[in-house]
Amino acid sequence: MERKVKIGIIGLGQRGMATVERYFAIHDAEIIAVSDLLEQNTERARQLLLRHGRTNISVHYGEHSWRSLCQNPEIDLVLICTDWSSHTRMAVNAMQQGKDVAIEVPAATSVEECWQLVHTTHDTGRRCTMLENCCYDTFHLGIMQMKAQGLFGEINYCEGAYIHDLRSDQGWMSYTVSDHMGNPYPTHGLGPACQLLDINQTDHLVSLVSMSATNKINNSLIRTAQGRSILLQFDERTPRPYSRMQTLCATKAYVQKYPLPTLQIDGEPLLTGKDAERRVESYHDAQTRQLIEEGRRLEVPNLMNYIMDRRLIAAVLHGKPFDISVYDAALWSSVTELSARSVQQGSKPVDIPDFTQSN
């Protein structure tokens, strides 16, 4: 019989329930345990799983019930889909109970929590990743292949962002964001930029300066050890159309995804819109192509989530490294605190720790 990764999921709100739905399409994984603060949420998840023929779900509700989920010896992987404040606490405990963990974004809210994640992977030998789905954007995956083939020359500068008009949102995220001085949600923009610059591999982030306008638009400028830079934006409070920028400037090319997909390679005609997308996506490797075809056949609502989930489960099943390491999760998440610190100090430069040097 095919081996399946057994999953326990904590947090069954908007993202958690969508995650439960998503995993019906993942043939080599099954959710066997669910946890939420509220019984009505665990019941909703249990009913959904039941409608898909999943009986014997282990159900845990109440504030501390997630701890008993983490003790379930059958679980291989714990998915954490709660609000930001509890991510690290839950991940640390799950790893101490012998589980691999995948945490929704951001994985942590302070530098101290980022270190806790790194140290716990070392202490327990378990693995921790962050569910940064924007790293699986099909445009980004094509760009990564073009970069690997040397089509851009040297990439010297990237832009990333989370620009999403959420003014009508009244949930915990809007309260947390309004109390935050810097960029509280950096990873959607920063993750793809760091992958393009080989951060935590051949280059490292070393410092940032950050500035917030009164309407909470935040701009952070990040410098790397090799003198390259990233502009990272956060704006949830203006009518600006959705954007993650996904922009790079290289010695031989300029590429952006938002607002208009654009590809300019030296000596070639400028491509925009669908032409740029088609060209970029023609570079997908065989595995990405296969996952996209599968996702389309299964009519999944969002291909980047499908690619992320399939690759995560394959890594757990075959003991392969996670695409996004604990060092990436820690580094990208640390900008929540570091950007706020720079803003509080009048936009002074703030050092960024190297989480790969953790002894």
Ligand X SMILES: NC(=O)c1ccc[n+]([C@@H]2O[C@H](COP(=O)([O-])OP(=O)(O)OC[C@H]3O[C@@H](n4cnc5c(N)ncnc54)[C@H](O)[C@@H]3O)[C@@H](O)[C@H]2O)c1
Residues lying near ligand X in the complex (CB under 6 A): 10-16, 35-38, 41, 63, 66, 81-84, 86, 104-105, 133, 171-172
Other Cβ atoms less than 10 A from the Cβ of 63: the count is 8
Which lies closer to ligand X via its Cβ, residue 161 or residue 265? 161
Shortest Cβ 308–ligand X spacing (Å): 9
Which lies closer to ligand X via its Cβ, residue 276 or residue 324? 324
Cα separations (Å) of 66 from 6, 130, 345?
A: 16, 19, 38
**Cis before residue 259, ω within 30 degrees of 0?**
yes
Shortest Cβ 259–ligand X spacing (Å): 19
**C-alpha to C-alpha distance for 311 and 291, rounded to whole angstroms:** 9
**C-alpha to C-alpha distance for 277 and 47, rounded to whole angstroms:** 40
Shortest Cβ 26–ligand X spacing (Å): 16
Shortest Cβ 60–ligand X spacing (Å): 8
What interhelical angle do 187-196 and 138-148 show, nearest 10? 20
Shortest Cβ 234–ligand X spacing (Å): 13
Which lies closer to ligand X via its Cβ, residue 204 or residue 216? 216
Cα separations (Å) of 234 from 8, 101, 219, 270, 358?
A: 32, 27, 7, 29, 29
> Please, which residues have CB within 8 angstroms of residue 297's CB and are 6 or more apart in sequence?
none
What are the start-end ranges of the H helices in 182-266?
187-196
Pick the closest to residue 163 from 87, 219, 201 (CA basis): 219
Which lies closer to ligand X via its Cβ, residue 149 or residue 170? 170
Shortest Cβ 16–ligand X spacing (Å): 6
Which lies closer to ligand X via its Cβ, residue 106 or residue 142? 106
Shortest Cβ 252–ligand X spacing (Å): 32
For the record, the structure tokens of 75 come out as: 């679980």
**C-alpha to C-alpha distance for 326 and 65, rounded to whole angstroms:** 25
Shortest Cβ 236–ligand X spacing (Å): 12
What SS3 state is found at 317?
A: helix
Shortest Cβ 109–ligand X spacing (Å): 10
Which lies closer to ligand X via its Cβ, residue 171 or residue 241? 171
Which lies closer to ligand X via its Cβ, residue 95 or residue 276? 95
Which lies closer to ligand X via its Cβ, residue 4 or residue 67? 67
Closest-by-Cβ residue to ligand X is 13
**C-alpha to C-alpha distance for 356 and 359, rounded to whole angstroms:** 9
DSSP letters of 89-135?
Answer: HHHHHHHHTT-EEEEPSSS-SSHHHHHHHHHHHHHH---EEE--GGG
Shortest Cβ 237–ligand X spacing (Å): 17
Q: Return the beta strands (E) in 239-356 as ranges.
A: 247-250, 253-256, 262-265, 271-272, 350-351
Which lies closer to ligand X via its Cβ, residue 177 or residue 263? 177
**C-alpha to C-alpha distance for 343 and 189, rounded to whole angstroms:** 19
The overall longest dimension of the chain from CA atoms, in Å, is: 61
Which lies closer to ligand X via its Cβ, residue 15 or residue 119? 15
